[in-house]
Amino acid sequence: RELEKELELHVKKDYFGICVKCRKGVYGASQACQAMGNLYHTNCFICCSCGRRLRGKAFYNVNGKVYCEEDFLYSGFQQTADKCFVCGHLIMEMILQALGKSYHPGCFRCVLCNECLDGVPFTVDLENNIYCVKDYHTVFAPKCASCGRPILPAQGSEETIRVVSMDKDYHVACYRCEDCGLQLNDEEARRCYPLEGHLLCHSCHIRRINVPHPTQPQPPPGYQLHVTEL
C-alpha cells in the first residue's frame, strides 16, 4: 500500500531524488535544495546553530556542519578554527595535521617539486622543511667520491646502499681499482688496498710500490746496486 502511494506521488509531483539528510524523497521544485553536490529538502538544509533555512543564501561548511553567514562570522568560530601553516587561511573542511601543525591537504607540498604530499610518504630536514622522499635523497644523499653523483636508493626501495672507504662514499658500481678497473668488494681477490688516497686492487698496489718515484735519484748507468748479506 505504501509503495502504491509512493508511485502515485511520483506521477503527481516532480520527483528530484532522495534527501541526503533525512533519506526521504524530495518532490516539487519548492522543496528541493541543491548544495555541495547533494540534494536536500529545503527544510533539511539549515544552519546548525540557529536553524535558519539556507536555500539561496550564503553559508559555510565547517567539518561537515553548515553555518549561516551571520553565525559563522559572529559566533567566535574564527578564533577557535585551525589555520593552515602554509597559507594562513582558516581550514574549513578537511584538515591535515603533521609535525604538530595544521594544513589544508592541498597546501602540504614538497618544498622543491611542489608535489602534493597528502597521503604520500614524506620526510623533513632539520629545519622542518617538507620534502618528497625522492627530492630529500637528491638534496641530502652522500655524493660518490668517484663520479660525484648522489648515492640514491634503488628504485622501489628506501634503503641506500653505499661503500665507505678512506672516509669517502662510493656507489657500489664505482668502487673499482683506479688502474685496472677491477670491481672491488670483500672477496679475497677483490679487496681494496688503498695507496696515497687511491683505490687499488692488490696487484696494482704492488705494481705502484715497485715503480720508482720520479724524484728518487737513480744510480749512473753501468753501476749495480748491492746489498750486504749481514
Strands 25-27 and 15-18: antiparallel
Nearest to 30 by CA among 45, 41, 46, 38: 41
Question: With 90 as the cut, is the pLDDT of residue 19 above it?
Answer: yes
205: amino acid identity, one letter? H
- Give residue 40's pLDDT: 94
Nearest to 104 by CA among 128, 130, 82, 84: 84
Q: Give the confidence band of 212 by pLDDT, cuts at 50, 70, 90.
A: low
- Give residue 134's pLDDT: 83
Each residue's pLDDT tens digit, 46-86: 988 888 899 888 888 877 788 888 777 766 666 666 788 88
- Give residue 115's pLDDT: 92
Question: With 60 as the cut, is the pLDDT of residue 176 above it?
Answer: yes
Instruction: Write down the number of H helices and E strands in the chain.
Output: 5, 12
Cα 18 to Cα 32: distance, rounded to the nearest angstrom:
10
Question: With 50 as the cut, is the pLDDT of residue 230 above it?
Answer: no
Please tell me what DSSP assigns to residue 140: H
Report CA torsion sign: 21, 24, 30, 33. Answer: positive
Count Cα atoms within 13 angstroms, Cβ side, for 162: 19
Each residue's pLDDT tens digit, 110-154: 999 999 998 888 888 888 889 988 888 888 888 888 888 888 877
**Do residues 137 and 150 make contact, with C-beta atoms less than 8 angstroms apart?**
yes
Q: Cell 720508482 identifies what position?
A: 212
- Give residue 213's pLDDT: 57
Q: Cell 660518490 identifies what position?
A: 144
Each residue's pLDDT tens digit, 24-51: 998 888 899 998 889 999 999 998 888 8
Beta carbons within 8 Å of 191's beta carbon, 6+ residues apart: 184, 185, 201, 202
DSSP structure string for 157-205: ------EEETTEEE-TTT-B-TTT-PBP-SSGGG----BTTB---HHHH
Nearest to 90 by CA among 99, 77, 100: 77
Residues in the chain, overall count? 230
